[in-house]
């Protein structure tokens, strides 16, 4: 799958076994894995250079991905494998993409022929990490759990241990730390810090530990296949954030910084903002509506420092000796609800703002897993919420998906009037919807002249119409008009014809659940339409 930024192909995840059909859905068409390689991988026994390999395990996953075009069905199951490692507390760490949409998990120790049934404890898809466990105490006999170390320095040598393609036994490979910086985690598209290793790519190593002096300093997870000798690992600080987050059994996630900012390297820009000689920072250029409502920052504020750490004009902050990193890294390392103390300049005056960090939320959600798609069927009209999972049907959706859907996914904002995009995915042919059967992939904006907020709102408002017509307005300035009770009668017939078990997904309100909303009038042909 090509990186949308033209950077090449990002490969990551579990190695498909010989019986595995190509994955149809998910974050990529094919999930691969990372092995940091400076020399040929070879099977190992016992301790090698102080590296405890008995805590590194092979994970076997049965996955079944849901269809987002026909959301009542799943694709055929596939068999994949990846790597993992045991930490104290009977926790097995691996990548989230190794176990995404899993239906059955097994784990095998090095030197053992038995596969033990495992279960998923916690998963953080945005940081591509997961925790498994095995309930059978026999599994842990002979295993010495690994310990965590410290974040490696540049030019440090590290070992990646796992089960890459080319054999069934464990193997170790060596790489050199090249740099640490935020990158796009391709499992979901979230940007977080990663460590680049001077390394190549081998399938099957995803989820394996990256060790320095026998201690865990990261987790192998993805690489750049069009550039030789480049691989990435999830750094220790991201792993520790994840482990601390799920200690209560609930994954809250990493904060996101919603305001749009730009660097201030141009001297005229700095003078315009009222900055003095020696002042540095970044300029706030846009606040999404939810950020405006919070009232903490304003457009044209200059963010000069976070928690006492000055921000350079290019947006970087000091990291370690002779290193810098993007300033938002300081926000990502916080927990949801924590406070960042920001030094800002507003209208030429310097002040301090206590900025509370929150989880990110997009109008069109990022790739998600382990959930069933939402849908609603009425008279053959199939409505779904727009998500990157849905868009991923087009593979490189930024290029191939319908332009209106790709645009709103990139630039759309949550507002008080709309917190979800509803798409008419297709019209399942029936006599009741004659003339509309070639309409698909269209954004629904209004029902009987009233804007809809989300799919649930659409369902509840349709339920409130007892008779007459429904008039659906679309972003592309056309409409569909149908008699509501004729649609309801046709729905059961269409469900039987297309073998659809229910007219809506289980997460949506049932037909008997009346919504406490003002009933909508039936569509009146003489009422002027609302511009979508």
Tell the residue number behind the tokens 């009038």, with chain if given.
521
Closest CA to 70 of 489, 500, 444, 516: 500
Over 68-89, what HEC string results? CCCCCCECCCEEEEEEEEEECC
Beta bridge partners of 107: 59, 116
Any catalytic annotation for residue 97?
yes
Measured between alpha carbons, how far is 486 from 484 in angstroms, rounded to an integer? 5
- Alpha-carbon distances of 248 from 57, 108, 241, rounded to whole Å: 25, 28, 13
**Cα 108 to the center of its chain, rounded Å:** 28
Which residue among 81, 83, 97, 374 is the active-site one?
Answer: 97
Structure tokens at 384: 């779904």
- Alpha-carbon distances of 17 from 107, 168, 482, rounded to whole Å: 15, 11, 49
Closest CA to 473 of 408, 422, 403, 531: 531
Structure tokens at 286: 């846009």
Q: Is the dihedral of CA 76, 77, 83, 84 positive or negative?
A: positive
CB-based contact 85:93 (threshold 8 Å): yes
Any catalytic annotation for residue 505?
no
Any catalytic annotation for residue 260?
no
Closest CA to 330 of 348, 318, 313, 322: 318
Which residue among 41, 83, 206, 505 is the active-site one?
Answer: 206
Beta bridge partners of 9: 2
Measured between alpha carbons, how far is 284 from 263 in angstroms, rounded to an integer? 9
- Alpha-carbon distances of 423 from 68, 477, 492, 515, 518, rounded to whole Å: 12, 14, 21, 22, 23
Eight-state DSSP code of residue 152: P
Beta bridge partners of 105: 61, 118
Over 14-57, what HEC string results? CEECCCCCCCCCCCCCCCCCCCCCCCCCEECCCEECCEECCCEE
Neighbours of 426 (CB within 10 A): 19
Closest CA to 28 of 254, 187, 215, 147: 187
Which residue among 11, 65, 128, 503 is the active-site one?
Answer: 128
Structure tokens at 283: 């300029």
Measured between alpha carbons, how far is 241 from 232 in angstroms, rounded to an integer? 18
Instruction: Give the active site residues.
Output: 97, 128, 206
């Amino acid at each position: 799958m090509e990186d949308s930024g033209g950077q090449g192909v990002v490969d990551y995840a579990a190695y498909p076994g010989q019986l595995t059909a190509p994955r149809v859905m998910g974050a990529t068409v094919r999930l691969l894995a990372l092995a940091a390689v400076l020399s040929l991988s070879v099977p190992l026994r016992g301790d090698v250079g102080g590296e405890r390999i008995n805590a590194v395990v092979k994970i076997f996953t049965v996955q079944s991905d849901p269809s987002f075009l026909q959301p009542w069905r799943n694709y055929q199951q596939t068999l994949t494998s990846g790597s993992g490692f045991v930490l104290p507390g009977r926790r097995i760490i691996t990548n989230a993409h190794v176990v995404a949409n899993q239906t059955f998990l097994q784990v095998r120790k090095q030197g053992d022929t038995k596969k033990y049934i495992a279960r998923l404890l916690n998963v953080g898809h945005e940081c591509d990490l997961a925790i498994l466990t095995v309930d059978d105490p026999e599994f842990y006999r002979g295993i010495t759990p690994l310990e965590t170390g410290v974040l490696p320095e540049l030019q440090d040598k590290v070992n990646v241990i796992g089960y890459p393609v080319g054999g069934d036994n464990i193997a170790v490979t060596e790489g050199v730390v090249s740099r640490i910086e935020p990158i796009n985690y391709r499992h979901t598209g979230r940007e977080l810090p990663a460590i680049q290793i001077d390394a190549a790519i081998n399938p099957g190593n995803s989820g394996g530990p990256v060790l320095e002096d026998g201690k865990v300093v990261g987790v192998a997870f993805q690489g750049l296949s069009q550039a030789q000798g480049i691989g990435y690992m999830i750094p220790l600080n991201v792993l520790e954030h994840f482990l601390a987050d799920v200690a209560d059994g609930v994954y809250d996630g990493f904060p996101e910084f919603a305001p749009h900012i730009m660097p201030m390297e141009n001297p005229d820009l700095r003078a315009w903002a009222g900055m003095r000689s020696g002042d540095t920072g970044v300029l706030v250029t846009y606040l999404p509506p939810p950020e405006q409502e919070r009232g903490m920052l304003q457009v044209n504020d200059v963010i000069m420092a976070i928690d006492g750490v000055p921000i350079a004009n290019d947006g970087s902050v000091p990291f370690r000796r002779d290193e810098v990193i993007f300033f938002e890294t300081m926000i990502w390392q916080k927990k949801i609800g924590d406070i960042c103390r920001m030094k800002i300049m507003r209208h030429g005056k310097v002040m301090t703002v206590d900025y509370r960090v929150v989880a990110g939320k997009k109008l069109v959600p990022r790739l998600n897993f382990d959930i069933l798609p939402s849908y609603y069927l009425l008279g053959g009209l199939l409505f779904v919420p727009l998500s990157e999972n849905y868009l991923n049907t087009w593979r490189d959706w930024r290029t191939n998906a319908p332009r209106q859907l790709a645009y709103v996914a990139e630039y759309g904002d949550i507002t008080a009037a709309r917190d979800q995009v509803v798409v008419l995915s297709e019209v399942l042919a029936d006599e009741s919807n004659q003339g509309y059967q070639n309409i698909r992939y269209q954004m629904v904006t209004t029902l009987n002249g009233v804007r809809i907020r989300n799919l649930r709102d659409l369902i509840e408002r349709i339920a409130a119409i007892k008779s007459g017509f429904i008039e659906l307005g679309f972003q592309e300035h056309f409409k569909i008009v149908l008699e509501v009770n004729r649609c309801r009668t046709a729905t059961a017939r269409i469900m039987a014809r297309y073998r659809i078990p229910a007219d809506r997904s289980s997460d949506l309100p049932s037909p008997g659940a009346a919504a406490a909303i003002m009933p909508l009038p039936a569509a009146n042909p003489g009422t002027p339409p609302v511009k979508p």
